[in-house]
């Protein structure tokens, strides 16, 4: 069983998948940093200084001025601003992955087109034989 497991782990597909997962984690961290530190401040500036990360909906009767204050009090809140950031991150990650796959597909050599199928050598020889008989 150990030998079978070793063969499974050492196949190309498992190694490729492991590399893809590690790269996706690193890419996710870069994209999250981009969204939090570059994209969302620009969106906030365009929307009049709104910081989406601080937007929340308080589910309790006690009013809280800030999200941090509500979270420190242990209040039940829906942090919809953080969810908006996550949606923007998803869109950016999807676009980046699309661009990477598109660039990768352009580097692949196209498969050679199959030669048009015609009569086989035997069929050609039979046609020549029949033509000579006539």
**What would the pLDDT profile of 76-90 be if each residue is shown by its tens digit?**
999 998 898 888 878
Q: Can you give the pLDDT at residue 57? A: 92
State yes or no: pLDDT of 12 exceeds 70: no
77-78 vs 57-58, strand pairing mode? antiparallel
Contacts of 40 (CB under 8 A, 6+ apart): 51, 52, 53, 85, 88
| Tokens, residue 110 | 């196209």
Q: Can you give the pLDDT at residue 115? A: 67
Q: Can you give the pLDDT at residue 31? A: 82
Structural domains present in the chain: 2-109 (1.10.1200.120)
Half-sphere exposure of 25 (CA within 13 A, CB side): 5
Residue 50's nearest CA partner among 18, 85, 86, 23 is 85
Rg (CA), the chain: 30
State yes or no: pLDDT of 101 exceeds 70: yes
By percentage, how much of the chain surpasses pLDDT 90?
A: 22
Q: Can you give the pLDDT at residue 109? A: 77
CA distance 52 to 43: 9
The answer to pTM > 0.85 is no
State yes or no: pLDDT of 59 exceeds 90: yes
């Amino acid at each position: 069983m150990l030998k079978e497991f070793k063969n499974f782990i050492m196949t190309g597909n498992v190694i490729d998948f492991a590399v893809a997962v590690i790269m996706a984690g690193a890419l996710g961290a870069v994209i999250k940093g981009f969204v939090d530190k570059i994209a969302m401040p620009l969106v906030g500036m365009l929307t009049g200084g709104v910081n989406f990360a601080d937007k929340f909906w308080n589910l309790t009767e006690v009013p809280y001025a800030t999200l941090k204050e509500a979270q420190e009090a242990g209040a039940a809140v829906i942090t919809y601003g953080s969810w908006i950031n996550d949606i923007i991150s998803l869109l950016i990650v999807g676009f980046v992955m699309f661009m990477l796959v598109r660039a990768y597909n352009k580097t692949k050599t196209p498969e050679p087109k199959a030669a048009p199928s015609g009569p086989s050598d035997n069929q050609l020889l039979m046609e020549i034989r029949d033509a000579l008989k006539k």
